[in-house]
Structure 1
C-alpha cells in the first residue's frame, strides 16, 4: 500500500523524509482515486526475501540478486539497481523508488519466470522526458520515470500483452503496453493504458 507519510529520500534504507503539505494532499487525492476504482488494489503479499534480475539495454549492465531481506532493503543492492536504471542520455543516476523493484519482483514471481527483465527505460531526467514527450505522444509530461518510480521493459520469451495483463490484475501500480512489445510498470496508483 502507498505510504502517504514517507517518500524515498537519498537512501530508502534510512529514515524517511517528511512530506510537504502539497505532497500529502496529492497522495491523499491519489489514494481517494484508487479507492474509487472498481476492483481497487488488492494486497499482494511480498515474500520476506526479494530478488530481481534485470539487464539494461543497450549497455548490458545488469543486476541479479537479492535486494530485500531480514525486513530491510539492501543498500548496496539498491545502489547497483540505481546504476542499471540510470538515465543513459544524461549519464545521470538517481535513487530509484524501491517499491518499483517490489512490483517487478512480484510480477516475475506471479509469471513464474527467472528471465531477466530487459530494461529499455528507467529513470529519466526532466529534460530527457520533455524531449521524449515532444517526439512521442504516448510519453507523459509528468511521467513517473522522472521520480525513479517507473520502468519500461521486455521479458524474453513472454508476450508483452500477457505480461501487462498479469501485472494489471495484480493492482500494484500503473501498467502500460506499447505496440512495440514494451511494458511499462510503475509503483504509482493502479491504472492501465
Structure 2
C-alpha cells in the first residue's frame, strides 16, 4: 500500500524559516535570542492507520500560526468516514504538540479520531456507550491519540500537565483523549 504524505514541501518549510530569519535578523536588541537558536516553533507529528496518511510539520513560528499548515492539519484530522473537513481548534493542536514535546519522543501520534461529523458521532454512539452525545470531536476540539512507546498513563500525565483541557484515559482501548474544553479528567 502506497503511503500518502500531507504537509509542506521541503521548499515551503525552508521558505517559512527563511522569512522568519529575515524578520529576526540579528540586531543588538534580539541578538541573545538569535544566538540561542531563536525562533519558537510548534510541530505536530501524526499518522492515520485508516487513511495511510502522515503529517510532520511546523504549524506555528514565533507567535504566528501558519495558515497552510493548519489547513493540512484540518484535512488530516477530517472525518474520514464522511470525508468531511472542519477547522481544528488551534488550542487542541497546541495541547497535542505540547504533550508530545513533554514525552520527549520522535514517534508520531497515531490519530484514532479527530473531527467527527454529527452522523459519524451518532453512529459511533449507537455502538459504544463511551461516545458523548455532544462530543467536542464534532466541534473540531478533540483528538483520540495513541503512542506505541508510551503508556496511556504517561500520555495522560503529559496532557494533564498542560492544564488546558480535558484528558480522558481509555486503558481498554489504549488511547488518550485530549481536548480544549474545560479542564477535567476521566477514565473511559
Whether 1:102 aligns to 2:86 is no
Q: Is the 8 A contact 2:95 2:162 kept in 1?
A: no
Report the aligned-residue RMSD.
Answer: 1.3
Structure with the larger strand share: 2
Q: Distance between the aligned counterparts of 2:139 and 2:130, measured in 1?
A: 18
Indicate if the aligned counterparts of 2:46 and 2:110 stay in contact, CA closer than 8 A: yes
How many residues get paired?
A: 147
Secondary structure, aligned partner of 2:134? coil
- SS of 1:168's equivalent in the other structure is helix
List gaps (5 residues or longer) in structure 2: 1-38
- 105, 111, 119: which one pairs with 2:111? 119
1:186 corresponding residue in structure 2: 179
TM superposition score normalised by structure 1: 0.73
Q: Is 2:112 the partner of 1:81?
A: no
TM alignment of 1:1-193, pairs within 5 A? 48-178=40-170, 179-193=172-186
Larger Rg: 2
- Structure ranking higher on relative contact order (CA contacts 8 Å, 6+ apart): 1
State the TM-score, normalizing by the size of structure 2.
Answer: 0.75
